[in-house]
Structure 1
Amino acid sequence: MALAPVWIAGAGMTPFGIHRDLTVKQLTAQAVREALADASATTKDVEAVFFANTTQSPLEGQHMVPGQIAVRELGIQGVPVVNVENACASGASAFHLAVAYVRSGAADVVLAVGAEKMNVEDRALAMSVFDGAYDVSAPEELARVLRHLGGEADRPAGPSSSFMDIYAAMARNHMDTYGTTQRQLAVIAEKNHRHSVDNHRAHYRKPMNADEVLAARALAFPLTVPMCAPITDGAAAVLVCSERGLARLGSTASVRVLASALATGSDRDFTTFEGHVSGVAARRAYEQAGLGPEAVDVAEVHDATAFGELLQLEVLGLFGPGEAAAAGERGATSIGGALPVNPSGGLVSKGHPLAATGLGQIFELTEQLRGRAGARQVSSARVALAENGGGFHRGEEAVASVVMLGAQ
């Protein structure tokens, strides 16, 4: 069945970084105003809002209605506002719901927005939010899965989230299976730190070479700090429209939503790629778009660690199992290579304000498809893919989103 066409009319994003003097409301306002201006729209044009946030509840005590509070002062009033929490995939999930809402005919102009203020005085509290992204009723199950995946590993003293242990165990499993090396992970981090230099919205803009990455503070082997995403504040917003909505705005949107797919993990042999949640979402997206992985010109994938990028490239079918590390070494995933990945700098360098991350990926790819990415521009980009994962359950991400966009 053919799906009704949906377009991105506008996108906005704050700089990602540490914003101690800004609130969730203020970050939201910056991103929304930029997205509306990009679409030549006003708040009066917005017919519904899907608002993503994961940390305001534990960090600030705003346990309910954060979206209504964040957008009301902008002048978005009276319309449906739905709050979305889906771990690190919250922003992509808000986008998915906005696309579905428009395709259903319920509205013609819908806003998806994600915002986080994660840098608070209590650093331990900020780190603790990640402990709510797996099954808290069965911590022994998480420990068992990690031992099965990657064996035992020393965890040096110093702050880090529980997800660094998760990614480290997955990385060790990949190393044992395919011979992947720690230096190959450092090369991925080097590439993303290099890409972020030309992104004025990125949390980090300092280049690092592989030797510097390897010499940095160690986390659970094989990860070091520069291989991992920082604690970041920021917001991103995307205005999604039907063709009727575009006509009403007088917009000439140049980016079409080719596919948006969500998947949830399932019981399987989690030491293999078969049935991986991101692969399930990707297959749905490829079917919706009528395109395969070979059609993708540029991708933004969920590199909460450098290993996360490697894993997703293989699960998504962009490279074969065990092939992504070597591709990174030969420059295939760098800007100018065969398939540029994370030209924004990725989560490792651009930053990872959890619920804003998926929408930040879509912002970057919208810029790429419009030819507005400046020094980061991927030549002749026509088809883009964003993968955003969240949480962890029984050996893989609890949820995965794959979005495909096309230039018109």
Structure 2
Amino acid sequence: MKQPMITGVGITDFGRFPELTEEAMVQSAILDALEDAGTRLSEVQAFYCGNALGAMLPGQRALRELHAHGGAVYNVDNACSSGATALNLALQALKVGQYDTVLVFGMDHLSGLGGGPLQLSQQDWNNRRGMIMPALYAMRARRYMHDRGLKLETLADISVKNRKHGVLNPIAKFAKLATREEILASRPVAEPLTLLQCCPAVVDGAAALVLSTKPSQGVAKPVQVLASVVQSGLFETTPVDMTEAEITARAARLAYEQAGVGPQDLSLLEVHDAFTISELLYYEALGLCDRGDAAELLHSGATALGGRVPVNPSGGLLAKGHPPGATGVAQIVEVCEQLQGRAGARQVQGARIGLTQVTGGGIWGVDHAACAIHILSL
């Protein structure tokens, strides 16, 4: 088995850019990643594209104007886990020697879709009843508040933390500081969640990675992928605990085993904080604390920059926004730059091992349709 390394990264601004096309955005990220890796496009043997809400053949459309040489293009739609799933597939091909250099990229351009939550299939029983994502996570928050005595202020404090991180990230165009009081007073979305506790959904952005089993010619030291795990949700036929992120906990166990590390070894994490309650649930599912202790972990300062294990130093989805196809790749870009000491004002000092976690979609009877976890180190 060959050892693939991430040799270059590229990322665009995340925001609303109606004047740009999806293809133009990802082409910028691809060219930046190639330059970072010291790799020519002609050296890339295969392309893996994560895209959730674009038109048909997104990878080929993105590569057309770059005059790619016609190598294999794999288009991956796994909802919000699309980009991370594309990375998982690329790693498999590299390890068995099918290719020696590949490009992984993810993108979505949603500013033309209007405001509000993303439209979901009305053929799905949950969606027809109004169980869209904000409603689902509001129910989880209410249940956690009932079971664990969680306070509204704690939910708001997740957003306060991630916005502080986000203003340090030059690509996070939505990032603005907000106080606990401002977050709680923002427009109600689904009780108890307010607008500033929900990630911006109508966002444009792209990110790209170069991976290779050949010696790196890149600007920075290449990054090793210790673990890459993708799991699907279980069809639930009996009542379940809404405060348990089962698919994330299951994927995390597999990732820790694959990497030979545990949560105590992590220097930082990028997690899928689509709503404030999400990050708290993932603290527990990823083993950062025991069940019921997420609020205590947050209030200790451990998950803030300067703390023991910063979570979402990029600002996360709450501050960056969430173009679904790009998010999983963007998380990897953030962790790579942190491990390489290239994260600027948001740098996690002494970062050695980082974890990314992204979930994808929800369908009737299933908690999440997909979850991807990666663990990286130098």
Please list the CA deviations of residues 82-123 of structure 1 after superposition, one character each: whole Å capped at 9, or x if unmatched. Answer: 110000111111111111111121101111101111001x52
Q: Name which of 109, 114, 123 aligns with 2:114.
A: 123
For structure 1, the 5+ residue unaligned runs are 57-61, 147-161
Corresponding position of 1:154: none
Report SS of the residue matched to 2:224. Answer: strand
Q: Name which of 205, 215, 219 aligns with 1:246.
A: 215
Please list the CA deviations of residues 124-181 of structure 1 after superposition, one character each: whole Å capped at 9, or x if unmatched. Answer: 6x7443x14xxx434258749x6xxxxxxxxxxxxxxx31111111111221221112
Q: Is the 8 A contact 1:273 1:315 kept in 2?
A: no
Q: Name which of 294, 299, 306 aligns with 2:276.
A: 306
Whether 2:361 is the aligned partner of 1:396: answer: no
Q: Is the 8 A contact 1:246 1:252 kept in 2?
A: no
> In the aligned structure 1, how far is the partner of 2:345 from the partner of 2:72?
39
Corresponding position of 2:86: 94
Provide the identity percentage. Answer: 40
Report SS of the residue matched to 2:137. Answer: helix
Q: Is the 8 A contact 2:189 2:195 kept in 1?
A: yes
Corresponding position of 1:263: 231
Whether 2:351 is the aligned partner of 1:381: answer: yes
Whether 2:340 is the aligned partner of 1:370: answer: yes
TM-score (norm 1): 0.87
Corresponding position of 2:43: 45
Q: How does 1:306-385 map to 2 (within 5 A)?
A: 306-385=276-355
How far off its partner does 1:69 sit? Answer: 1.4
Q: How does 1:7-406 map to 2 (within 5 A)?
A: 7-56=5-54, 62=55, 64-120=56-112, 122-123=113-114, 127-129=117-119, 131-132=120-121, 136-140=122-126, 143=129, 162-230=132-200, 231-242=202-213, 245-246=214-215, 249=217, 253-268=221-236, 269-271=239-241, 276-393=246-363, 394-406=365-377
Q: Is the 8 A contact 1:203 1:232 kept in 2?
A: no
- Which segment is superposed worse, 354-363 or 205-214? 205-214
Report SS of the residue matched to 2:209. Answer: strand
Q: Which amino acid aligns with 2:22?
A: V
Q: Summarize the Cα distance change of 1:315–1:208 in structure 2 as closer, same or farther, 3 Å threshold.
A: same
Q: Which amino acid aligns with 2:232?
A: T
Q: Summarize the Cα distance change of 1:81–1:237 in structure 2 as closer, same or farther, 3 Å threshold.
A: same
How far off its partner does 1:253 sit? Answer: 3.5
Report SS of the residue matched to 2:190. Answer: coil
Q: Summarize the Cα distance change of 1:176–1:4 in structure 2 as closer, same or farther, 3 Å threshold.
A: farther
Corresponding position of 1:159: none
How far off its partner does 1:354 sit? Answer: 0.7
How far off its partner does 1:74 sit? Answer: 1.1
> In the aligned structure 2, how far is the partner of 1:392 from the partner of 1:69?
28
Please list the CA deviations of residues 207-253 of structure 1 after superposition, one character each: whole Å capped at 9, or x if unmatched. Answer: 111111001111111111111111210100011111xx235x57764
> In the aligned structure 2, how far is the partner of 1:13 from the partner of 1:292?
29
Q: Which amino acid aligns with 1:262?
A: V
Q: Summarize the Cα distance change of 1:69–1:338 in structure 2 as closer, same or farther, 3 Å threshold.
A: same
Q: Summarize the Cα distance change of 1:16–1:250 in structure 2 as closer, same or farther, 3 Å threshold.
A: closer
How far off its partner does 1:19 sit? Answer: 0.8
How far off its partner does 1:31 sit? Answer: 0.5
Q: Is the 8 A contact 2:245 2:285 kept in 1?
A: no
TM-score (norm 2): 0.94
Report SS of the residue matched to 1:283. Answer: helix
How far off its partner does 1:398 sit? Answer: 1.0
Q: Summarize the Cα distance change of 1:272–1:218 in structure 2 as closer, same or farther, 3 Å threshold.
A: closer
> In the aligned structure 2, how far is the partner of 1:37 from the partner of 1:347?
27
> In the aligned structure 2, how far is the partner of 1:350 from the partner of 1:250?
26
Q: Which amino acid aligns with 1:300?
A: E
Counting matched residue pairs gives 374
> In the aligned structure 2, how far is the partner of 1:359 from the partner of 1:181?
33
Q: Is the 8 A contact 1:193 1:205 kept in 2?
A: yes
> In the aligned structure 2, how far is the partner of 1:188 from the partner of 1:274?
18
Corresponding position of 1:151: none
Report SS of the residue matched to 2:211. Answer: strand
> In the aligned structure 1, how far is the partner of 2:151 from the partner of 2:227?
34
Q: Which amino acid aligns with 2:234?
A: S
How far off its partner does 1:75 sit? Answer: 2.3
How far off its partner does 1:282 sit? Answer: 0.8
Q: Which amino acid aligns with 2:114?
A: R
Q: Which amino acid aligns with 1:123?
A: G
Q: Which amino acid aligns with 1:23?
A: T
Q: Summarize the Cα distance change of 1:141–1:38 in structure 2 as closer, same or farther, 3 Å threshold.
A: closer
Report SS of the residue matched to 1:212. Answer: helix
Q: Is the 8 A contact 1:94 1:112 kept in 2?
A: yes
Q: Which amino acid aligns with 1:388?
A: V
RMSD across aligned positions (CA): 1.9
Please list the CA deviations of residues 382-401 of structure 1 after superposition, one character each: whole Å capped at 9, or x if unmatched. Answer: 00000000011325211000
Q: Is the 8 A contact 2:167 2:177 kept in 1?
A: yes
How far off its partner does 1:273 sit? Answer: 6.5
> In the aligned structure 2, how far is the partner of 1:264 from the partner of 1:305?
21
Please list the CA deviations of residues 245-292 of structure 1 after superposition, one character each: whole Å capped at 9, or x if unmatched. Answer: 235x57764311110000011135531677811111111111110111
Q: Which amino acid aligns with 2:254?
A: R
